[in-house]
Amino acid sequence: MRANVHLILRERGKIVDRRESHNVVVDYGRVWLTRFISANLLGWPLDPRSILYMGLGIGGYEQTMQALIAAPPLNPAYVPGYDPNATTGFEYRDDCPIKPPITTLEMPVRLTGSSNPYWGALPTDEWLASMDPATPYNGIITHPTPYSTSYRAFFDGTAGHIVYPPFTMMPLSEAGLYLNSKTFPNTSNPYNNLVVAYVGFPPIVITPVHELEVSWHVRF
């Protein structure tokens, strides 16, 4: 299957690592898409919501750096089991998104904020990167063809994105796309926002000397 999600890791402008994968549109995303484009809204109020946010995590079955995640400082900041399925933290599969059913990232990470455990997350913790170009993540949304949209976000470790004290490295292994809606972020569990699309990949490690570019091409 052709890759539509591309991650490029740079150090001082030089590419040092990269990943390519293909996403899955989860059930929430399928329901949203059918209602969004349908002439018959089936009782759903007209809603102009569209995809605007991107999130990153360290969960998923392709995560191979579990020992690093189980040790300080990542533990206790990011402890498995706080996703809606209460998993081990390494079970979500984009090739089989129903066992367990994927609705969120499995182990989302903050872009900026505290290092509190999930249950102690602060209102000021930032979990989602806006792809609005006016934001710190310099997001870009383009339409390369009439039947596709490309989303791009930049995460700058040198500016403290994702890796800020006490974190010195983050083995990213999953990502999600999110809607632009007043219901996001989820204020009751701000880390468990509902994803429209999900992707997993072998871990790519960002540190304070790295910059990460994530490009996500969605075809209709």
- Reported as a single tens digit per residue, the pLDDT across 161-199 is 999 999 999 999 999 999 887 555 565 678 999 999 999
Domain count, the chain: 1
Task: Give the whole-angstrom CA distance, residue 172 versus residue 129.
Answer: 15
d(Cα 91, Cα 59) in Å, to the nearest integer? 8
Q: Does some domain include residue 199?
A: yes
Nearest to 118 by CA among 129, 130, 105: 105
Q: What angle do CA 172, 167, 163 make, to 5 degrees?
A: 60
Using alpha carbons only, what angle is made at residue 124 by residues 174 and 9, rounded to the nearest 5 degrees? 35
Answer yes or no: is 79 within a domain.
yes
- The verdict on residue 23 lying in a domain is yes
Residue 172 included in any domain? yes
Cα gap 197→149, rounded to integer Å: 13
Euclidean distance between CA atoms 22 and 2, whole angstroms: 7
Question: pLDDT truncated to tens, each residue of the chain (220 aa)?
Answer: 689 999 999 999 999 999 999 999 998 888 877 766 655 555 545 445 688 899 999 999 999 999 999 999 999 999 999 999 999 999 999 999 999 999 999 999 999 999 999 999 998 999 999 988 888 898 898 888 888 889 999 999 999 999 999 999 999 999 999 988 755 556 567 899 999 999 999 999 999 999 999 999 988 7
What's the pTM? 0.91
Evaluate whether residue 44 is within a structural domain: no
Q: Is 74 a domain residue?
A: yes
SS3 (DSSP) at 141: strand
Range of the structural domain that residue 132 is part of: 5-39+50-185+193-219
45 within some domain: no
pLDDT at 38: 58
Per-residue pLDDT tens digits for 45-59: 544 568 889 999 999
In a 10 Å sphere around its CB, with 0-12 CB exposed, 13-18 middle and 19+ buried, how is residue 107 labelled?
buried
**Contacts with 208 (C-beta within 8 Å, 6 or more apart), sequence order:** 157, 158, 160, 163, 168
Within a domain: 59 = yes
